Structures are given as structure tokens and as C-alpha cells.
Amino acid sequence: MSRAQDQGARALICFDFDLTLTHEHMYRAVTQMIRAGADRERACYKAISYLRESGAYGGDALWELLFKLLSSGHGIAICTFSAYPELPLALLQSGVRELRSRGASREVTSWLSRPIITYGDPDPKLRPPLHLTGTHLIELGIDEMGSVGKQRHIERAQALVAERLERALKSGGGARELSLPLPPSGEASEPFSRVILVDDDPRNILRAQEAGFEGVLVNQDPELEHLKSLAALLGL
């Protein structure tokens, strides 16, 4: 397949969370607060307040790229090793305002307002007490994290996207909350033929590539090279 064909194919971009969409490692920060005596709810509240103040890693450049790629018919999911899915939920909700300020439709912002978050945590005791809409637990042992990486997270995200697309097609466009933006070809039934993992851990990138996916490594550099690399892969 040529590079042009690659760029035109509909892609599902799976973002890691900690140190990929955040300035700090939020799982560690919240866990430290809990171990120091804070209850889980209070620790998560403080972390969400911090995210609102600090914003996403990449700032305007990140939101601008998400606006472009979602408007072009690509999709996103969050795939993270964490026990606190509340945090990516909160960050994506703030992104809804960012994308709408750039003219994004509700179909486009539905990827953030009705997100797909797959998470697997190293400590089951820290999981949320109740299921949170849009979040999906991947039970993975610590010993499997290195050998499997984010593969199960990605596969679950793919299945959820396929289910959402099927519902949108069956609705005939009548259920706005289930609709998805069209892919570049304009064919609503076109599947997501590419998966790109964006992650700060090279081991997760390697495991994803071994499974046949693409990968973009995040180095937390001031030039935000990972966003430029992702834009180039998508032809944006």
C-alpha cells in the first residue's frame, strides 16, 4: 500500500494517558496521596483540579490536531494502565470546549463527550467503586503488562468502536449521540483499517508494532515531535 493510501485510510488513534496527554504521571500522584492517607475520592478530585489548571500536554497544538483528525473521519480512544479512569474522562471533557471553539460539530466532539477509555490497573483495590460510562476495565496482571503491553486495551477499543459504528449505521442518522464523523472517503460504513498507538513507553510501542499496529513515541520534548509525527502519518 502506498503512503498516500496509508494516509487516506481511516485510523483509530489510541492515546496513552500519563505523560502522553498529561504533564505529570497522574497515576503515581493519586496513588501517593491515597497511601499518605487521603481517601480515593478526594485524591482524584485534587488530580482533576490539577488537570484543569495545567491543561493537557501539548496544549493548543494537541487540541488543534485532534480537531483536524476527528473532522477528517479518524477516531480516538484512551488506552491506559491506571486505576483512575475519572482522570482521562475529565481531561476529554475539557477538550470538548476546546474543539467546539474551533468549530467542531457535535458528531466530532462525541469522541470526547462519549469517550472510549480502556484501562487496566496494577492495584485492583484502587479501582473506582462504580462503573463509569465510557470506561472499560482490562484485567491484566503486572507480569503481563511488559509482555502484552497495550494490545488488549487496543483490541477492546477496536471492538467498542465497531459496535458504536454499527449502532450509528442502524440508527440511520437519527440518533445524533451515536453518530460518528464520516471517514475521508465519505462512506460511513468504511472500517478503521489502521490503528496508531501514541505512548511514552517504548515497550508499549514495540508490543503494538509486533501486533501489527503503528506507533508514535512521546518523548515529552518542547517541540512536541510526537504530534508532528502523528500528523504526518495521517497526512494532516
Q: Please report whether residue 43 resides in a domain.
A: no
- Please report the pLDDT score of residue 190 as a whole number: 63
Dump the DSSP string for the chain: --HHHHHHS-EEEEE--TTTTSSS-HHHHHHHHHHTT--HHHHHHHHHHHHHHH--TTHHHHHHHHHHHHHTT-EEEEEEE-S-THHHHHHHHHHHHHHHTTT--HHHHHHHHS--EEEE-S-GGGS-SS--TTEEE----HHHHHHHTTHHHHHHHHHHHHHHHHHHHHHTT--GGG--PPPTTS-TT----EEEEEES-HHHHHHHHHTT-EEEE----TT-HHHHHHHHHHT-
Q: Please report whether residue 40 resides in a domain.
A: no
* Mean pLDDT value of segment 16-43: 97
Q: Please report whether residue 145 resides in a domain.
A: yes
Q: Please report whether residue 122 resides in a domain.
A: yes
- Please report the pLDDT score of residue 188 as a whole number: 54
86 dihedral zone (left: phi>0; alpha: psi -120 to 50; beta) = alpha
Q: Please report whether residue 172 resides in a domain.
A: yes
Q: Please report whether residue 188 resides in a domain.
A: yes
Q: Please report whether residue 39 resides in a domain.
A: no
Count structural domains, the chain.
Answer: 1
Residue 148 — pLDDT band, cuts 50, 70, 90?
A: confident
Looking only at the bridges linking them, the beta strands covering 75-81 and 214-217 are unpaired
- Please report the pLDDT score of residue 23 as a whole number: 97
Q: Please report whether residue 84 resides in a domain.
A: yes
Q: Show the domain range for 226.
A: 3-23+55-234
Whole-number average pLDDT of the chain: 88
The CATH number for 200's domain is 3.40.50.1000
- The three three-digit cell numbers of residue 213, written as one number: 499496529
